[in-house]
Amino acid sequence: MKEENLIELIQKYDSPGPRYTSYPAVPHWNGLPKKEKWLQALNRDFKDGIDLYIHIPFCQSLCRYCGCNRLIKRDRSWGREYVGYLKKEWEIYLRNIEENSHQTLKINSIHLGGGTPTFLDPIDLQQLLSLFEPFTSKSFKGAAEIDPRVTQREHINIFKDFNFTRFSLGVQDFDPEVQKACGRIQPFEMVEESVSLLRNAGAKEINFDLIYGLPLQTRDSIKRTIQLVKKLKPETIALYGYAHVPWVAPAQKLLEKYSIPKGFEKRTLYDYARVELDQMKYKEIGLDHFSLEQTSLWQAYSEGQLKRNFMGYTTQVSPVTLGLGVSSISQSPQFFVQNHKDLKKYYDALDRGQLPLFHGHTMSDQDLIISRMIQNLFCKGHTQVDTSPYEASFGRLVMEKLIMMNKDGLIEWKNKEMNLTKLGQIFLRNIAMIFDPNLQSNDQRFSRTV
């Protein structure tokens, strides 16, 4: 496609929109279900095991680009107290399951996210993982997010002891000037050492998180970053677009004194990286993800089994994801529930012996149909178009937008089967937004789609 035509399409479609790690997106949830209903659903749906997400919110320093729920603390004793409260939360769920079910709980996977999971002292990390070891299934998979700046050999040895074999490293960018602007100084040699330690400890799959669209990034700088990535050969790469949302993450205002790539300029950074990754035999998957062919992620994608949730793309198959920790989100086929984002409120609820839930959503029949279409688009690149959930006027609007996107070359469709084109991959979020009746025009609560 000619450059001027792509510029036109980006100008036409680039707008605020969800990343669809859930449908409905969190701002459109209809409210916390009764806790009794959530616990009943948990008891009903956990029979095939659960996936566990544990959020560790603490970081020792502020990364200015970050929009995650995190707390900046120097003193690691905060982590020790926090592990005690994670234990309280886990015990509430265990009591509920033991009292209301005759089946044994199985944990199919654990994902430690943050924040910075390795903010925890090694002894605290060991105590945390010991809580769950008696419940892990034979096919258990352990994964953790790693910050090379604070991760010690002892952390990695503990992960090995508990059969963690998948790790995601926050790399973002190797350019020193970009790192300095973003407040995350992390030389290549530091990442190289972490990768070496993980490989020696038996890591099977390593992922790098990279970000394009950061301040001071150029085509040349991102190309140099990808060449350094090539030396370490992670199995998967997440290449996220920088989401500038200072109304959510006020520290991002510190970046506005720099040149921040936008629109077509930002997109060319992704395309430069994509070309380099293609030459390195990485395959593009869905939105912003790349994988070598031998990985579990690629296998799930090839077999049509890939899923998308709050952790991004996943191979998890359990019907229930249980989130522990401040701001964590749990999911069952019928419900979403989220813990308090405020640490004090999270602690106070657990001190009262209550689950620290504050927000959620109950899925309607309409939600389930729309969610399935959006999941198919993000995970398979195609979907059956079903307008039955919509009022007649919105259903007509959906069809009108699909016709327009077909003319623009973003999709192909026949007999209600819609397929993304290579060009449409760029506008995946926009295409999914067509099916979302919750969106208002130019909803500024979301990051931009391109």
133-158 residue pLDDT tens: 999 999 999 999 999 999 999 999 99
The end-to-end CA distance of the chain, in Å, is: 17
Q: What is the CATH number of the domain that holds 158?
A: 3.80.30.20
Q: Whole-prediction pTM value?
A: 0.94
Output the pLDDT for position 441: 55
164 and 80, same domain (yes or no): yes
Structural domains in the chain (count):
2
**Quick one: average pLDDT of 269-277?**
94
Look at residue 211 and tell me whether its pLDDT is greater than 70: yes
20-65 residue pLDDT tens: 999 999 999 999 999 999 999 998 888 889 999 999 999 999 999 9
313 and 372, same domain (yes or no): no
Strand partners, 167: 144, 206
Whether residue 269 lies inside any domain: the answer is: yes
What is the domain range of residue 100? Answer: 30-323
387 and 274, same domain (yes or no): no
Report the percentage of the chain scoring pLDDT > 70. 98
Question: How many whole angstroms separate alpha carbon 69 and alpha carbon 76?
Answer: 18
Sheet of strand 136-146, all strands in order from the earlier edge strand to the far edge: 283-285, 289-291, 236-241, 205-212, 164-172, 136-146, 107-114, 50-56, 320-324, 329-331, 335-339, 357-362
50 and 167, same domain (yes or no): yes
- Helices and strands counted in the chain (H then E): 14, 19
57 and 152, same domain (yes or no): yes
Output the pLDDT for position 256: 93
188 and 45, same domain (yes or no): yes
Q: Cα 311 from chain centroid?
A: 3
Q: What is the CATH number of the domain that holds 412?
A: 1.10.10.920
Look at residue 224 and tell me whether its pLDDT is greater than 90: yes
Output the pLDDT for position 444: 54
201 and 262, same domain (yes or no): yes
Look at residue 118 and tell me whether its pLDDT is greater than 60: yes
Whether residue 333 lies inside any domain: the answer is: no
Which residues have a Cβ under 8 Å from the Cβ of 141 and sit 6 or more positions away?
108, 109, 110, 165, 166
Output the pLDDT for position 98: 79
170 and 275, same domain (yes or no): yes
Return left, alpha or beta for 137; rule: phi > 0 is left, psi -120 to 50 is alpha, else beta.
beta
422 and 276, same domain (yes or no): no
Please say whether the beta carbons of 76 and 121 come within 8 A.
yes
Q: How does 45-79 read in b/e, with b if 16+ C-beta sit within 10 Å? A: bbeebbbbbbbbbbbeeebbbbbebbeebeeeebb
307 and 161, same domain (yes or no): yes
161-208 residue pLDDT tens: 999 999 999 999 999 999 999 999 999 999 999 999 999 999 999 999
Residue-averaged pLDDT of the chain: 93
Give the Cβ contact number of residue 352 at 10 Å: 9
Look at residue 450 and tell me whether its pLDDT is greater than 80: no
201 and 318, same domain (yes or no): yes
Which tokens belong to 355? 């689950």
pLDDT-wise least confident of 3-12, 222-231, 232-241, 346-355? 3-12
Whether residue 14 lies inside any domain: the answer is: no
Whether residue 440 lies inside any domain: the answer is: no
Please tell me whether residue 443 adopts helix, strand or coil conformation: coil
375 and 271, same domain (yes or no): no
**Quick one: average pLDDT of 231-243?**
96
Output the pLDDT for position 67: 84
394-446 residue pLDDT tens: 999 999 999 999 999 999 988 889 999 999 999 999 999 999 999 865 555 67
Please say whether the beta carbons of 82 and 56 come within 8 A.
yes
